[in-house]
């Protein structure tokens, strides 16, 4: 489809009363998934009940959660020594659970600090009195670039990093060299956006509300050897072993969120064709916007070029007044969620998996048109 102007694309969206969603999270979901949820909402698989009413102990729901686990395993090519868990509380509860479960007695924990989310994760290790080592981001770049050269204490219980930083829009294109220490990553904002080698990872976690589904659940992938560290003395709901032993069904899980995740994973496998295909699309989407920025006189990218994120493109305009007028006009044209994080301002286009290439092309066209006029 060749896009000549914004008008070529807008028609369809208005026909569906749907806007272009560039939200940072909760974020866009595939329209086909939303339609499926809607169609079957009163009668889940012929049960005569809504998905929100069926028992988490029913065969019907077991099929859903098992399918979600199997698809996760296939998409990430997980070997048998990895477990896929669903845990409530989002990435923020993982910030607490990780040091609680996985810090080894008398050994430090190491965090790479690349922004607000890494800082929050680190804080929870401090709160628990762990011996925390921090690898800082490059000085004076205000988190707009990632560290390249650092040494990890070999005694570290783990090396924690944030794979994608939503606020400034940076992303590890190559994961940090863990130097023999188990890697742990908060992948909330780029999980399932590209293929990667899981083997260096002891644990990966992702709040669902960017690439996977609605908020209210985190997917946690944990390697069996890490589970041996879990202290017996922890509260039941805060032990990773509880979720492994009970297959994430110790208590009632967020059934609706897991159901939507299963539909999104189905879309990812069957409609998109897997993570290699997804990455191609995501790269194309990101390059469409970065191209506009790189050719522009008014848009300035926030992240340094080598650290740029495929998921979140943060940019500024020359002054706040122009930013406000850009955001307002974008909103009037059906482009939503472009305001930068409340902690930094500016603009940001989040291009998660479910944001369509048509939406991104429309935005690129809009950005060019806005620049021409201004």
Give the three-class secondary structure for 303. coil
State how far the Cα of 91 lies from the Cα of 373, in Å rounded to an integer. 42
For the CB of residue 179, give the shortest distance to a second copy in the complex, in Å: 28
Q: What is the DSSP string of 305-316?
A: GGGB-SSEEEEE
Confirm or reject binding of residue 5 to a second copy (CB under 8 A): no
Confirm or reject binding of residue 34 to a second copy (CB under 8 A): yes
Specify the residue, 73 or 120, whose C-beta has the smaller distance to a second copy. Answer: 120
Specify the residue, 21 or 313, whose C-beta has the smaller distance to a second copy. Answer: 21
For the CB of residue 262, give the shortest distance to a second copy in the complex, in Å: 14
The count of other CB atoms within 10 Å of the CB of residue 271 is 11
Task: Please name the helix (run of DSSP H) or strand (run of DSSP E) that holds residue 205, with its range, or none.
Answer: strand 201-207
Specify the residue, 56 or 133, whose C-beta has the smaller distance to a second copy. Answer: 56
The count of other CB atoms within 10 Å of the CB of residue 314 is 27
Task: Please name the helix (run of DSSP H) or strand (run of DSSP E) that holds residue 326, with its range, or none.
Answer: helix 320-332
Q: Which one of 87-95, 108-116, 274-282, 356-364 is the stretch in contact with a second copy (CB under 8 A)? A: 87-95
For the CB of residue 148, give the shortest distance to a second copy in the complex, in Å: 30
For the CB of residue 78, give the shortest distance to a second copy in the complex, in Å: 25
For the CB of residue 2, give the shortest distance to a second copy in the complex, in Å: 25
Confirm or reject binding of residue 255 to a second copy (CB under 8 A): yes
Cα 180 from chain centroid?
A: 26
Confirm or reject binding of residue 214 to a second copy (CB under 8 A): yes
Phi, psi of 110 (to 5 degrees): -120, 135
State how far the Cα of 141 lies from the Cα of 129, in Å rounded to an integer. 29
Among 3, 10, 92, 369, binds a second copy (CB under 8 A): 92
Assess contact for 162 and 95: CB atoms under 8 A: no
Confirm or reject binding of residue 89 to a second copy (CB under 8 A): yes
Q: Which residues are catalytic?
A: 117, 186, 210
State how far the Cα of 305 lies from the Cα of 309, in Å rounded to an integer. 9
State how far the Cα of 374 lies from the Cα of 362, in Å rounded to an integer. 18
CA angle in degrees (0–180, nearest 5) for 370-336-93:
135
State how far the Cα of 95 lies from the Cα of 288, in Å rounded to an integer. 34
Assess contact for 184 and 152: CB atoms under 8 A: no
For the CB of residue 334, give the shortest distance to a second copy in the complex, in Å: 7
Confirm or reject binding of residue 209 to a second copy (CB under 8 A): yes
Confirm or reject binding of residue 250 to a second copy (CB under 8 A): yes
Specify the residue, 73 or 126, whose C-beta has the smaller distance to a second copy. Answer: 126
Among 6, 69, 93, 310, binds a second copy (CB under 8 A): 93
Confirm or reject binding of residue 344 to a second copy (CB under 8 A): no
Q: Which one of 102-110, 267-275, 285-293, 329-337 is the stretch in contact with a second copy (CB under 8 A)? A: 329-337
Confirm or reject binding of residue 37 to a second copy (CB under 8 A): yes
Specify the residue, 151 or 332, whose C-beta has the smaller distance to a second copy. Answer: 332
Sites for a second copy among residues 220-239 (CB under 8 A): 233-238
Please report the sign of the dihedral spanned by the C-alpha atoms of residue 86, residue 92, residue 94, residue 96. negative
Site string for a second copy, 43-72 (x = CB under 8 A): x--xxxxx-xxxxxx---------------
How many residues contact a second copy, by CB under 8 A?
71
DSSP state of 46: G
Specify the residue, 146 or 212, whose C-beta has the smaller distance to a second copy. Answer: 212
For the CB of residue 169, give the shortest distance to a second copy in the complex, in Å: 17
Confirm or reject binding of residue 73 to a second copy (CB under 8 A): no
Q: Which one of 131-139, 189-197, 215-223, 318-326 is the stretch in contact with a second copy (CB under 8 A)? A: 215-223
Among 127, 142, 180, 291, binds a second copy (CB under 8 A): 127
3-class secondary structure for 61-129?
Answer: HHHHHHHHHHHHHHHHCCCCCEEEEEECCHHHHHHHHHHHHHCCCCCCEEEEECCHHHHHHHHHHHHCC
For the CB of residue 39, give the shortest distance to a second copy in the complex, in Å: 9
């Amino acid at each position: 489809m060749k896009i000549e102007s914004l008008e070529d694309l807008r028609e369809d969206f208005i026909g569906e009363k749907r806007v272009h969603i560039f939200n940072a999270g909760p974020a866009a979901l595939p329209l086909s998934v939303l339609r499926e949820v809607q169609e079957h909402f009163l009668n889940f698989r012929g049960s005569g009940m809504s998905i929100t009413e069926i028992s988490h102990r029913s065969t019907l729901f077991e099929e859903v959660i098992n399918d979600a686990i199997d698809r996760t395993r296939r998409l990430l090519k997980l070997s048998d020594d990895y477990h896929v868990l669903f845990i409530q509380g989002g990435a923020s509860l993982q910030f607490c659970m990780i040091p609680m479960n996985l810090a080894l007695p008398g050994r430090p924990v190491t965090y790479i600090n690349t922004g607000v989310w890494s800082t929050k994760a680190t804080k929870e290790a401090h709160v628990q009195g762990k011996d925390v080592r921090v690898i800082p981001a490059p000085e004076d770049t205000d988190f707009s670039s990632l560290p390249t050269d650092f040494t990890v204490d070999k005694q570290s219980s783990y090396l924690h990093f944030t794979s994608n930083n939503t606020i400034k829009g940076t992303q590890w294109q190559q994961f940090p060299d863990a130097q023999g220490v188990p890697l742990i990553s908060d992948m909330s904002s780029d999980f399932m956006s590209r293929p990667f080698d899981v083997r260096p990872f002891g644990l990966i976690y992702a709040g669902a509300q960017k690439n996977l589904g609605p908020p209210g659940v985190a997917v946690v992938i944990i390697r069996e050897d890490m589970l041996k560290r879990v202290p017996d003395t922890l509260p039941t709901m805060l032990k990773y072993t509880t979720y492994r032993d009970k297959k994430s069904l110790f208590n009632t899980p967020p059934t609706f969120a897991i159901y939507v995740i299963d539909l999104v994973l189905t879309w990812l496998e069957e409609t998109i064709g897997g993570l290699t295909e997804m990455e191609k699309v995501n790269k194309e989407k990101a390059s469409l916007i970065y191209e506009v920025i790189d050719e522009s006189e008014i848009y300035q990218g926030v992240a340094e070029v080598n650290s740029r994120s495929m998921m979140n493109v943060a940019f500024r305009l020359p002054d706040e007044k122009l930013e406000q007028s850009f955001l307002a006009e974008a909103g009037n044209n059906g482009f939503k969620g472009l305001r930068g994080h409340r902690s930094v301002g500016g603009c940001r286009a989040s291009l998660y998996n479910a944001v369509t290439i048509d939406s991104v092309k429309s935005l690129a066209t809009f950005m060019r048109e806005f620049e021409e006029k201004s």
